[in-house]
């Protein structure tokens, strides 16, 4: 057998590559466009819960993106008590393969990839579904992906007001301070969910609940708003879908499967089905279906996270690493 090598990009390499906001959004948008054009294969994510006492689980995401000529598998752990040990809640590894032979191509630290690609999907939901000239963002949650949600949405819209709330005041305040510093504008930490989302043009719910609990009230949602919930445990009322003019997901096959997710009860009860689903975001990005069509449309976008977004961002990182000479070339065989 011929000598084979793989590329290894660790967390320090990913940080050194310093992808711009435009590079992140562009990579993920390209992956969504490929999905909308039928050029991808997405397998619904799988979960492994080692022990309920550990308050966490592993997600396994699998996919293929034809225009990038890559298949990939990401394994990411999501453990909500990690903050007690000074650790991020999510650790991940992305494995990339030649789809024709199965040959391993690269292994990347996917912790930052997960955060960046999640924020990019949230931002792209805003790009295609937000009301015209949104001025107020209300964001629930302060985990790793939350930073990129706010940063990339603000890159697109330059909000006049950004409010954030989190269950733990210390993380909430630190989150607001970091965003204020990095965005060069005041980001306000507020004391409760209502104060955060009341009157907001865009609402993002990225909470970390131990069990489903209707914390986000339907009556608080402004007419014409875009609501993007993606917590693992549902924090929304069943009635939330009743006020929506359009419901969009990242992938219906994944949304309708599994036991977790913000709209799990809505799917299981039949309130959300293929019959009343407007579109997958990739179909809108590809121009196959319309996004927002009227200023007064109230729209919900639920994304659970796609392997193709990880693969697309991984491809961008590998390409930049090759140009800049960053990363390690490891002997595989």
Give pLDDT tens digits for 261-278.
778 888 888 889 899 999
More confident residue, 87 or 123: 123
Q: How far apart are CA 206 and CA 230, in angstroms?
A: 6
Helix (H, G, I), strand (E, B) or coil at 108: strand
pLDDT at 251 over 80: yes
| Domains in the chain, CATH or no CATH each | 5-113+308-331 (3.30.1780.10), 120-305 (3.40.50.720)
Q: Mean per-residue pLDDT for 187-215?
A: 91
- Can you give the pLDDT at residue 212? 78
- Can you give the pLDDT at residue 265? 83
Residues in the chain: 333
Q: How far apart are CA 32 and CA 38, in angstroms?
A: 10
Let me know: does 7 contact 105? Beta carbons within 8 Å.
yes
Q: 167: pLDDT confidence band, cut at 50, 70 and 90? A: confident
Q: 296: pLDDT confidence band, cut at 50, 70 and 90? A: very high
Q: What percent of the chain has pLDDT over 70?
A: 100
- Residues whose CB is less than 8 angstroms from the CB of residue 304 and which lie 6 or more positions away in sequence, other chains included: 45, 230, 249, 250, 251, 254, 255, 261
pLDDT, tens digit, 9 for 90 and up, residues 90-115: 899 999 999 999 999 999 999 999 99
- Can you give the pLDDT at residue 199? 96
**CA 8 to each of CA 18, 95, 109, 132: distance values in angstroms, whole numbers, following the listed order:** 17, 10, 8, 42
pLDDT, tens digit, 9 for 90 and up, residues 232-250: 778 899 999 999 999 999 9
Q: How far apart are CA 303 and CA 284, in angstroms?
A: 14
Q: How far apart are CA 42 and CA 63, in angstroms?
A: 5
Q: How far apart are CA 95 and CA 110, in angstroms?
A: 9
Burial state string for 189-227 with b = 16 or more CB within 10 A and e = fewer than 16: bbeebeebbbebbbbbbbbbeeebeebbebebbbebbbb
Q: Mean per-residue pLDDT for 198-211?
A: 90
- Residues whose CB is less than 8 angstroms from the CB of residue 136 and which lie 6 or more positions away in sequence, other chains included: 159, 160, 161, 162, 163, 199, 200, 201, 202
- Can you give the pLDDT at residue 267? 87
């Amino acid at each position: 057998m011929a000598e084979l090598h793989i590329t290894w990009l660790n967390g320090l390499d990913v940080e050194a590559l310093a992808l711009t906001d435009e590079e992140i959004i562009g990579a993920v948008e390209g992956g969504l466009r490929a999905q909308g054009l039928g050029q991808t294969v997405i397998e619904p994510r799988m979960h492994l819960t080692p022990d309920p006492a550990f308050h966490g689980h592993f997600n396994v995401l699998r996919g293929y993106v034809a225009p990038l000529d890559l298949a990939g598998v990401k394994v990411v752990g999501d453990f909500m008590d990690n903050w007690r040990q000074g650790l991020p809640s999510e650790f991940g590894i992305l494995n990339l393969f030649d789809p024709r032979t199965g040959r391993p191509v690269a292994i990347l630290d996917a912790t930052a990839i997960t955060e960046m690609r999640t924020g990019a999907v949230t931002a792209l939901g805003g790009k295609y579904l937000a009301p015209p000239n949104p001025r107020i963002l209300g964001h629930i949650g302060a985990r790793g992906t939350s930073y990129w949600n706010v940063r990339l949405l603000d890159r697109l819209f330059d909000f006049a007001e950004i409010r954030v709330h989190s269950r733990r005041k210390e993380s909430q305040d630190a989150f607001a301070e970091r965003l204020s510093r990095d965005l060069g504008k005041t980001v306000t930490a507020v004391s409760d969910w209502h104060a955060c989302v009341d009157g907001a043009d865009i609402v993002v719910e990225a909470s970390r609940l131990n069990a489903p609990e209707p914390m986000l009230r339907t009556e608080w949602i402004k007419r014409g708003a875009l609501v993007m919930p993606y917590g693992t445990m549902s924090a929304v009322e069943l009635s939330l879908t009743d006020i929506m003019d359009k419901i969009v997901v990242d992938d219906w096959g994944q949304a309708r499967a599994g036991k977790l997710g913000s709209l799990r009860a809505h799917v299981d009860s039949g309130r959300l089905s293929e019959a009343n689903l407007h579109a997958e975001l990739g179909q809108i990005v590809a121009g196959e279906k319309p996004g927002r069509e009227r200023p007064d449309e109230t729209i919900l976008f639920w994304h659970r996270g796609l392997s193709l977004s990880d693969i697309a961002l991984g491809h961008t990182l590998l390409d930049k690493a090759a140009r800049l000479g960053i990363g390690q070339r490891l002997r595989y065989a």
